[in-house]
């Protein structure tokens, strides 16, 4: 739990604290509210604002707006940020923005409507405004939007002593930095030195002699999902960003990459379940319903496909009505198998464990697993069917349909995301609906088709 | 794509490279194999080993075993690490382990069987062995297992100059560190200084005067999932770990926390889909089948519940056989709605956006959303049913059943994970099966029950 991390001078966000804050809002007790909120970390204040209802949020902000700072604004989720900013006096927003690094300013501004964006931009320093406008010129979800432009660089020929003297003499060092980037005269990054090595080397040592072995750069146009992958794969802490000409334009740090990784995961998980990935806990019922209705409507159509298949076999069902009771078993177990295969494939594509190089082997593996589980389930279901209904034919039909559907499920679960991925689409998007439609249709068709052939 | 990150002196892992490596293995060309692998990052070599088949892996390792180092071993996924280590000569493993920080040693050793663990431990230096044994004494998946014991500390009264002189004089600094932890005489951490601030301050400045505002510690017994949450929530880069008496015992860095976050994601996503979360792309068909069979068997039982419900209404179906074709529509759309609600709730619980403080509001929101979408879907389905079959009664039955099941789905999707969470269980585990069983049973019951009342 969050409160396991002991922090003497700061309070976490527990149920009692939320209740105390809402009481203060209810009672209009501004002093108590300020006291309670002042002791909280900006990330926890932001979470609080997301967790309470829209009405409570409006009242809290009306009482407390003057104390919202840049750190809180940048922690608030996109889903309520616009609403919060609109409710604040323009002077509070301008003041809050001034404390932030440019990457955090960009993060806040990029989701606002044009007029609100303009209004805030016009209150920034000229240098900050220019930096933010340049960042906003990069595509959404690109490394250029994610990077901070404050970078600590040095020419390759400097010594440790010169570097330390330089750092002591400037006053614009970024809040967080972990490396000195060595650049050539045309500002192309060539390698980097960690601060730890800088500190443990003698003053006369050349920076060139203590650079890290491994050095990568990211292009400003790269997708942020790829940035997150790189940080996770190669354990980067920070990474220089270059423009199309290879010149240094900024740096991305691991905390931003971790944030992207977390958002990518949210996207995968919600998309697999057929939910618009911008959903948030602060959405109201209407918004929630609207975000989910599209896939429900699609499912209504695809479920009608199953109904169509079944209706072709009405004569069979009329003759042996127990088939109607048994038919969902094959379809539903197929749906589970398809979902399993699908989740594994979508995850493996995201972590790049599933690539063109091993796609064939993974598909064959799924086929094998589908066959094996198909046999296992077919034996159990076939035997149960035979014993319960005293009908070997029915047992056989159940077993064969189960087996066929398990194979279809396993293959569909991996082939659908692989195909979407090869088409350049998100493998998680719509995969679930495709695969369960496939297993439903196949399940009903195999079971009722076989029953018509064998039992009638 | 990974190869977007330009890195002149190193090759990524693309299809062509994998093919070239497998060709070299096939041809027994050790020189070519070494040349190809030497240019790759350890993380990519590890990925390669995971992506190729077991047979290819054995042949590759037989040809190349001498060059496997600690970095590669620590990158290899748990699922094949034991196999790889067993196939290597003991001397190669011992040599590989020696380069690593203790946290990486622990990560490798903790998954091995006792005898293999002992064999490797006995080859380590006394100091390393002691450190690893102490770490292994902490529970699995705890902060104690995750931390590295190499920590850079300083007494509170030191100046920047004293600190830098100290760091230049010692030779055991960790590979990666970002903060100096200030400790009191009893080794309790009291605050920390970032290396960036240390470097930009003058020699005579006291460390106490440049400490960070925000300071947290983690207990060695805390769960690693909580550690990942803390890093992500509070943008920590590194965090001191203390024992039960509050004394400093190690430090956790963000790259390890990011790794845990990524594994937690995998676990949530796969568990929601009913897959054992240790699944890996390197598993064979048999292993894959075995990891998925348990939930398939459970589903076979729960699907039989649906069959039982339907069988109660055989007389109704016999009288109006089109009901058999229509009944999966209500059940299947309910399943989708339940899955949507479930994914949102599991995700919100993982990010602690859904807490006791707002659980009531979120449940009411789901109820509202379920009602709204229920009304929308009921209108469409009811109208379609009435028009297609020219039967207002049938349309009404479809509409009412759809509405009831949407509400059950929305509520079930949030109440099941909330309940599991309150019971101290993983909300993702088994939720999917519970919820789809609920929506299936409810869907069939509502539809056939209403049909019996209204249409017979």
For B171, residues 6+ apart whose C-beta sits below 8 A from its C-beta are none
Helix and strand counts by DSSP (H, E) for chain A: 21, 6
Among B65, B73, B81, residue whose Cα is nearest residue B30: B65
d(CA B140, CA B110): 8
Q: pTM, whole model, 2 decimals?
A: 0.90
User: Residue A418 CA to chain centroid, in angstroms?
Assistant: 20
Residue in chain B closest to A266 (alpha carbons) equals B347
Q: What is the pLDDT of residue B10?
A: 58
Q: For the residues of B155-175, what is the DSSP string, one character each?
A: ETT-BHHHHHHHHHH-S---S
Cross-chain Cβ contact A289/B342 below 8 Å: no
CA distances from B19 to A357, B14, B38, B367 (A): 8, 9, 16, 54
Residue B17: is its pLDDT beyond 80?
A: yes
Cross-chain Cβ contact B318/A322 below 8 Å: no
In angstroms, the separation between the Cα of residue B301 and the nearest Cα of chain A is 9
B176, B332, B354: residue with CB nearest A306: B332
Among B221, B437, B399, residue whose Cα is nearest residue B308: B437
How much of chain A, in percent, has pLDDT values that exceed 90? 65
Q: List the single range of A197-206, B65-74, B213-222 with lowest mean pLDDT.
A: B65-74
For A90, residues 6+ apart whose C-beta sits below 8 A from its C-beta are A119, A123
Which of A12, A278, A369 should be substituted to probe chain B, the one whose Cβ sees the most B Cβ atoms within 10 Å? A369
- Better-predicted residue by pLDDT, B3 or B173: B173
pLDDT interval class at A10 (50, 70, 90): low
Q: What is the pLDDT of residue B278?
A: 72
d(CA A329, CA B304): 6
In angstroms, the separation between the Cα of residue A115 and the nearest Cα of chain B is 30
- Better-predicted residue by pLDDT, A13 or B46: B46
Instruction: Decide yes or no: CATH 1.25.60.10 for domain B2-146.
Output: yes
Residue B433: is its pLDDT beyond 90?
A: no
Q: Are strands A218-219 and A238-242 parallel, antiparallel or unpaired?
A: parallel
**CATH code for A285-455?**
1.10.357.20
Q: In A117-268, where do the E strands start and end?
A: 153-155, 179-183, 189-194, 218-219, 238-242, 248-253
Residue given tokens 């980097």 in the structure block: A192
Helix and strand counts by DSSP (H, E) for chain B: 21, 6
Average pLDDT over residues A338-354: 92
Reported ipTM: the value is: 0.89
Q: What is the pLDDT of residue A9?
A: 46
Residue A381: is its pLDDT beyond 80?
A: yes
Residue in chain A closest to B231 (alpha carbons) equals A255
Whether A153-272 shares its CATH topology with A285-455 is answered no
Q: What is the pLDDT of residue B11?
A: 62
Q: What is the pLDDT of residue A1?
A: 35
Mean pLDDT of chain A: 91
In angstroms, the separation between the Cα of residue A387 and the nearest Cα of chain B is 15
CA distances from A298 to A170, A288, A301, B371 (A): 59, 17, 5, 18
Cross-chain Cβ contact A232/B258 below 8 Å: yes
Average pLDDT over residues B200-206: 92
Average pLDDT over residues A63-82: 87
Residues of A with Cβ-Cβ distance to B346 under 8 angstroms: 269
d(CA B378, CA B450): 14
pLDDT interval class at A139 (50, 70, 90): very high
**CATH code for B153-272?**
3.10.580.10
CB A428 within 8 Å of CB A295: no
Name B206's bridge partners. B159
Structural domain boundaries of chain A?
2-142, 153-272, 285-455
Residue A273: is its pLDDT beyond 80?
A: yes
Average pLDDT over residues A121-129: 89
Mean pLDDT of chain B: 90
Over residues B368-379, the pLDDT tens digits come to: 999 999 999 999
Q: Which helix (H) or strand (E) holds B241?
A: strand B238-242
Residue given tokens 């994998």 in the structure block: B18
Residue B172: is its pLDDT beyond 90?
A: no
Q: Which residues of A322-359 are buried (b: 16+ CB within 10 A; e: fewer)?
A: bbbbbbbbbbbbbbbbbbbbbbbbbbbbbbbbbbebbb
Cross-chain Cβ contact A332/B285 below 8 Å: no
Residue A5: is its pLDDT beyond 90?
A: no
Residue in chain B closest to A16 (alpha carbons) equals B357
User: Looking at domain A2-142, what is its CATH homologous superfamily?
Assistant: MgtE N-terminal domain-like (1.25.60.10)
Residue in chain A closest to B364 (alpha carbons) equals A285
Cross-chain Cβ contact A373/B292 below 8 Å: yes
* Residue positions counted in chain A: 456
Over residues A239-268, the pLDDT tens digits come to: 999 999 999 999 999 999 999 999 999 899
In angstroms, the separation between the Cα of residue B235 and the nearest Cα of chain A is 6
Cross-chain Cβ contact A433/B307 below 8 Å: no
């Amino acid at each position: 739990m969050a409160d396991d991390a002991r922090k003497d001078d700061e309070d976490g966000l527990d149920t009692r604290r939320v209740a105390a804050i809402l009481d203060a809002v209810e009672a209009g007790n501004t002093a108590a509210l300020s006291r309670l909120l002042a002791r909280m970390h900006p990330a926890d204040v932001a979470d609080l604002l997301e967790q309470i209802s829209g009405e409570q949020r409006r009242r809290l902000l009306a009482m407390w707006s003057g104390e919202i700072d840049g750190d809180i604004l940048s922690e608030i989720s996109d889903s309520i940020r616009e609403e919060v900013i609109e409710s604040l006096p323009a002077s509070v927003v301008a003041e809050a923005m001034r404390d932030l690094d440019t990457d955090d300013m960009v993060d806040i501004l990029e989701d606002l409507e044009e007029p609100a964006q303009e209004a805030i931009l016009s209150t920034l320093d000229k240098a900050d405004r220019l930096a933010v406008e340049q960042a906003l010129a990069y595509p959404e979800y690109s490394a250029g939007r994610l990077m901070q432009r404050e970078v600590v660089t040095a020419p390759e020929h400097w010594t440790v002593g010169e570097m330390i003297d330089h750092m002591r003499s400037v006053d614009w060092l970024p809040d967080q930095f972990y490396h000195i980037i060595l650049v050539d005269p045309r500002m192309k990054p060539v390698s980097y030195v960690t601060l730890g090595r800088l500190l443990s080397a003698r003053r006369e040592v050349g920076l060139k002699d203590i650079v890290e072995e491994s050095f990568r750069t990211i292009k400003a146009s790269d997708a942020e999902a790829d940035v997150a992958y790189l940080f996770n794969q190669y354990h980067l802490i920070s990474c220089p960003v270059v423009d199309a000409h290879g010149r240094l334009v900024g740096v991305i740090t691991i905390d931003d990459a971790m944030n992207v990784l977390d958002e990518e995961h949210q996207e995968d998980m919600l998309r697999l379940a057929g939910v618009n990935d911008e959903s948030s806990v602060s959405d109201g019922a209407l918004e929630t319903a609207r975000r989910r209705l599209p896939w429900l409507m699609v499912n209504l159509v695809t479920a009608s496909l199953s109904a169509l298949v079944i209706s072709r076999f009405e004569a069979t069902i009329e003759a042996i009505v127990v088939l109607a009771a048994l038919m969902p078993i094959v379809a539903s177990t197929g749906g589970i198998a398809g979902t399993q295969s699908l989740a594994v494939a979508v995850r493996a594509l995201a972590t790049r464990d599933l690539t063109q190089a091993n796609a064939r082997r993974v598909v064959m593996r799924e086929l094998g697993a589908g066959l094996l589980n198909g046999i296992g389930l077919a034996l159990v279901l076939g035997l149960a069917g035979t014993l319960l209904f005293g009908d070997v034919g029915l047992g056989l039909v159940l077993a064969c349909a189960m087996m066929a559907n398990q194979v279809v499920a396993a293959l569909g679960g991996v082939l659908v995301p692989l195909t979407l991925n090869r088409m350049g689409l998100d493998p998680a998007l719509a995969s679930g609906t495709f695969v369960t439609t496939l297993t439903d249709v196949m399940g009903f068709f195999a079971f009722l088709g076989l029953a018509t052939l064998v039992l009638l």
